[in-house]
Amino acid sequence: MKALGRHLLAEYHGCDPELLDDIDRIEVLLNRAASIAGANVVASVFHPFAPQGVTGVVVVEESHLSIHTWPEHGYAAVDFYTCGDCHPERADDYLREQLGASAGEVMKVVRGLEDEDASMEVRSHVVFTSADDDAEDAGGSTGSAVELRCEIGADGCTAGSGN
């Protein structure tokens, strides 16, 4: 089954509110994420909201990356849609780390499936949280991450976890 594109939909929580409101830094980070994914940047457009927040899109030859931020909630919604030889997962890893996300989720959808009844399919849905928050609340040690993964396949969802 060949897919023409991969679409990652990401939700980042616990991000640095000051960073989420800095249009210049957000633009630099999203352009860098596109490069890390192996995409060829064509243009970028970013817009600040009043009283706070940023929205922006980086157009790449392989499609686009977009972000919408809510600094007052420490939240960012991000889309990575690519085709060809790009690696949107690399962009997600980079941006998640740079924004300081302590929790969130990423859904991977393959699009443009050829020779299938449906042209889109959800391949995975990963929920992540930092064990730092849980350990600090319990007065314990910190430093590891907890990830709950749901891989979608022909037999339905198989849940698993990793750390």
Nearest Cα neighbor of 107 from 91, 90, 87, 121 is: 121
Confirm whether 68 is a catalytic residue. yes
The answer to whether 93 and 31 have CB atoms below 8 angstroms apart is: no
Catalytic residue among 83, 102, 125, 130: 83
58 CB neighbour count, 10 Å cutoff: 26
Catalytic residue among 13, 35, 44, 68: 68
Catalytic residue among 7, 63, 125, 130: 63
Q: Hey, is 44 helix, strand or coil?
A: strand
- Give just the sign of the alpha carbon dihedral 98, 143, 38, 53: negative
Confirm whether 83 is a catalytic residue. yes
Confirm whether 15 is a catalytic residue. no
Could you give the C-alpha distances from 161 to 12, 37, 136, 148, in angstroms and in order?
A: 19, 25, 21, 4
Nearest Cα neighbor of 62 from 108, 107, 6 is: 6
Number of helical H runs and strand E runs in the chain: 4, 9
Q: Which residues are catalytic?
A: 63, 68, 83
